Amino acid sequence: MDISKINKIMKKRLDEGFFWNIQEEEEFDIKSKLTSLLKSGTPDNIELAKSVAQGLGFDFDTLFSEV
């Protein structure tokens, strides 16, 4: 997936409030957000989760196996 598509999907998720108040949350659990994206089963959400996980240094295969 190219970066422009990932950016478009990320903007859509931000607009939907998916990553609402990340900076303000005292104990934000990025893994739970990524897991929610994976559980949705949509290809766009799975690609977004993979890109974010890799960017944050998470092992995507381990994260995916937890779903």
Q: pLDDT at position 43, please?
A: 92
Range of the domain at 18: 3-65
Contact criterion met (CB below 8 Å) for 38 and 49: yes
- Other beta carbons less than 10 A from residue 48's beta carbon: 25
Q: Identify the pLDDT of residue 58.
A: 77
Look at the chain and count its residues: 67
pTM of the model: 0.57
Confidence band, pLDDT 50/70/90 cuts, at residue 52:
confident
CB count within 10 Å of CB 38 equals 20
Q: Is the pLDDT of residue 64 over 80?
A: no
Into how many domains does the chain fold? 1
Separation in Å, CA 13 to CA 9, 50, 61, 62: 6, 14, 22, 23
User: Percent of the chain having pLDDT more than 70?
Assistant: 84
